[in-house]
Amino acid sequence: MAERISRNTFIMDKPPSVHSYAAIVGKKEGDGPLGKHFDAVYQDTYFGQDSWEKAESEMLRLTVLKALEKGGLTKEDVNYMFAGDLLNQCTTTSYGLRDLEIPLLCVYGACSTMAESLLLASLMTDSGIGGNVAAVTSSHFCSAERQFRFPLSYGGIRTPTAQWTCTASGAAIVTPQSDIGPYIKGVTIGKIVDMGVCDANNMGAAMAPAAAYVIKTHLNDRGLTPEDFDLIITGDLGRVGGTLLIELLAEEGINISSRYKDCGTMMFDYENQDVHAGGSGCGCCASVLCGYFLDKVRSGEYKNILFCATGALMSTTITQQGESIPGISHAVHISHGKD
Amino acid sequence: MAERISRNTFIMDKPPSVHSYAAIVGKKEGDGPLGKHFDAVYQDTYFGQDSWEKAESEMLRLTVLKALEKGGLTKEDVNYMFAGDLLNQCTTTSYGLRDLEIPLLCVYGACSTMAESLLLASLMTDSGIGGNVAAVTSSHFCSAERQFRFPLSYGGIRTPTAQWTCTASGAAIVTPQSDIGPYIKGVTIGKIVDMGVCDANNMGAAMAPAAAYVIKTHLNDRGLTPEDFDLIITGDLGRVGGTLLIELLAEEGINISSRYKDCGTMMFDYENQDVHAGGSGCGCCASVLCGYFLDKVRSGEYKNILFCATGALMSTTITQQGESIPGISHAVHISHGKD
């Protein structure tokens, strides 16, 4: 059974296995530097459906099925799942996972969702009550853009700090510890941090303080330093937020600059893909984790990574009322070895 | 540590305590038959704020503070919380709980949210890793109506099957077992059930099959019958959905008619309050549970209740694309005694 060593940090007793995982992305993400690592790249933005919301739902469904297939599992082998997405009323989760008939606990953490679902799956499994639990999430450029910003056909000019919501989905199946790694060693539940950023086109700045909080808390609670990890990875701070995070932690005497990566920054080729401050969206870090990093931890290329998905808890309604954007981030320590 | 006795049903080992709880509602709910049971009734729909979203956020914040106060706890005593609401991007949760600085795991289950948050809090606590965990949710008629249906000033005519979103909020603090009850004995995680209902003004019918699934599963998994409970309580099926639920379970040979209650049906005076099929919203069953039922289980008037909050996972966007409304419901067994 996991041990709670502080208010909100937990160490696993018998680190659960990430038994299998999959990532599926759209064309632009497939054209990026990580393209060859994903399980599938769809050239059709609609994924064979007739709306963007249905497209995203289909992408999520396909990703869960791929993760099951890669792990030699059927949907009946998964006891329940933690899932969420960016669309209003978690449309993608409800419609994409509807036909799987797997008991569902839907979560919402904006772009922090993959860390939230993965930490809950891990805590449940390590507590001996979980069984096989899936953690899944997704985002889609077209469905997100019209919901959060402007209709695509409006052709609005994007600001330099704006990020590009990735069309991408990731799924991981967490099981009781087996010989199959990687393993989840510890987690920290984040809290809302709001430093007053009001610009919906500068989400990186809104999220960076929450990431700084959870990284500092995780390290301090466990008596670790950045050097204990090969990499400290944020979800989608992008170039603006990533720079800010390094500065915020440096002010606390924590230097992560030599081992810092951001999934949103890694997803695209800045020179040629016109994504401004980088990729974003729930599916961004979920697909980079499940398509790229988990393989590298499984192989031992990385021994220990700290995965900190970052969410901007913005609301289109209340942002228009002048409110600032709260951020949240949760941390998950993923390790090559069991011990 | 809780035991998973089937795919998705768990029995608590040392049933955790619902240490304290509170419910705050708006004027119309205060005027209803349960009015005197709530901790506070606000006559001001705006709760002193300048928008409905901020009003709902303030109501949620006040409810959490009231639950802490009633339990003799400070916000630092709560290790983390499970919370969610109906507004897009869970606005109420993000903004209402922002200043509390309690680590947060946000969930989304439409109107099933109180059962989802309560079952997660209970599983975490009974697993020995939880500490003190809050389960909170809310809804507000005005913020929900403009988001899901029409602007209030449009004055649209409501159909007979339409329900009235309650302005209400509930919060419960779950702690490791103490002498203070009631206690959480067992839970079942529900799954999405979609029988093809497409009418956003008939949510009761959309949710009833999901409630039937979770009640049947909970009873069968544990070898119990409806007679083992004083009451089986749904969230907000209203009069239409409630009748349907009784019929659906009767077809399975399960007769709940003598002990069935629905929070949405209990909240208002049908003769005089013009609410059509009954109350609804996350806050409806949360406030009826935390304002009315938990007191009655604590006192021993009811020994055992099965609380099944029900959610219509509808999306305004995809409903307009012709999709049906998936339902979900989770079950929580709340008991007067520990054993």
Domain with residue A188: its CATH number is 3.40.47.40
Cα–Cα dist B145/B151, whole Å: 7
Pair (A7, A156) in one structural domain: yes
pLDDT at A320: 87
Confirm if A176 and A311 have CB atoms less than 8 A apart: no
- Residue A326: pLDDT band (50, 70, 90) is very high
Pair (B168, B23) in one structural domain: yes
pLDDT at A199: 85
3-state SS assignment for residue A278: coil
Pair (A77, A121) in one structural domain: yes
Of the candidates A2, A94, A103, the beta carbon closest to that of B315 is on: A94
pLDDT tens digit string along A91-143? Answer: 999 999 999 999 999 999 999 999 999 999 999 999 888 889 999 999 999 99
pLDDT at A91: 93
CA dihedral over A89, A92, A98, A100, signed as positive or negative: negative
CB contact under 8 A, B8 and A107: no
Pair (B112, B245) in one structural domain: no
**What does pLDDT average to over chain A?**
94
Token pair of B89 as six digits: 């991007």
Name, of A58-67, A162-171, A202-211, the range with top average pLDDT.
A58-67
Cα A29–Cα A32–Cα A37 angle in degrees, nearest 5: 80
Confirm if A74 and A105 have CB atoms less than 8 A apart: no
Token pair of A94 as six digits: 């409800």
Cα–Cα dist A102/A40, whole Å: 23
Q: Please report, for residues A7, A170, A189, B133, B270, the alpha-carbon distance to residue A217 in angstroms, rounded to integers and kept in the order given.
A: 10, 26, 9, 19, 52
Pair (B124, B267) in one structural domain: no
Domain boundary among B146, B175, B204: B175
Q: End-to-end CA distance of chain A, in Å?
A: 15
pLDDT at A147: 86
Residues of chain A contacting residue B116, judged by C-beta atoms under 8 Å apart:
105-106
Pair (B156, B225) in one structural domain: no
Confirm if B89 and A314 have CB atoms less than 8 A apart: yes
Crossing angle of helices B52-70 and B141-148, rounded to 10°? 140
Pair (A168, A292) in one structural domain: no
Cα–Cα dist A334/A227, whole Å: 15
**DSSP per-residue codes, B3-44:** EE-SSSEEE-SS--EEEEEEEEEEHHHHTSTTGGGSSEEES-
For an interface test with A, the pick among B102, B105, B119 (most A C-beta atoms closer than 10 Å) comes out as: B105
CB contact under 8 A, B105 and A107: yes
Q: Give the distance from residue A106's alpha carbon to the nearest chain B alpha carbon, in angstroms.
A: 5
pLDDT at A223: 98
Phi, psi values for residue A197, rounded to 5°:
-75, 130
Q: Which residues contact A15 (CB under 8 A, 6 or more apart)?
A: A126, A177, A183, A184, A185, A335, A338
Pair (A85, A149) in one structural domain: yes
Complex ipTM above 0.90?
A: yes
pLDDT at A76: 97
Confirm if B189 and B119 have CB atoms less than 8 A apart: yes
Domain hosting B310: range is 183-335
Cα–Cα dist B234/B330, whole Å: 10
Pair (B64, B209) in one structural domain: no
3-state SS assignment for residue A5: coil
pLDDT at A292 over 90: yes
Q: A332 exposed, middle or buried (CB, 10 Å; 0-12, 13-18, 19+)?
A: buried
Residues of chain A contacting residue B101, judged by C-beta atoms under 8 Å apart:
191-192
pLDDT at B50: 95
Instruction: Report chain B (339 residues): mean pLDDT per 10 consecutive residues.
Output: 92 97 98 98 96 96 98 97 94 95 97 98 90 96 85 77 92 97 98 91 91 98 98 94 97 97 95 87 97 98 98 88 94 96
Q: Give the distance from residue A9's alpha carbon to the nearest chain B alpha carbon, in angstroms.
A: 10
CB contact under 8 A, A313 and B1: no
Region A6-15: mean pLDDT is 96
Residues of chain A contacting residue B51, judged by C-beta atoms under 8 Å apart:
318, 321
Q: Which of B163, B137, B160 is nearest to B149 (CA)?
A: B163
CB contact under 8 A, B103 and A127: no
The amino acid occupying position B303 is: K
Confirm if B248 and B240 have CB atoms less than 8 A apart: no
pLDDT at A279: 92
Q: What percent of chain A has pLDDT over 90?
A: 83
3-state SS assignment for residue A24: strand
pLDDT at B275: 84
Pair (A170, A187) in one structural domain: no
Pair (B136, B230) in one structural domain: no
Number of folded domains that form chain B: 2
Q: End-to-end CA distance of chain B, in Å?
A: 15
3-state SS assignment for residue B290: helix
pLDDT at A31: 97
Residues of chain B contacting residue A105, judged by C-beta atoms under 8 Å apart:
107, 109, 116, 120, 189
Of the candidates A89, A127, A326, the beta carbon closest to that of B98 is on: A326
Q: Which of B71, B66, B125, B136 is nearest to B97 (CA)?
A: B136
Pair (B135, B211) in one structural domain: no
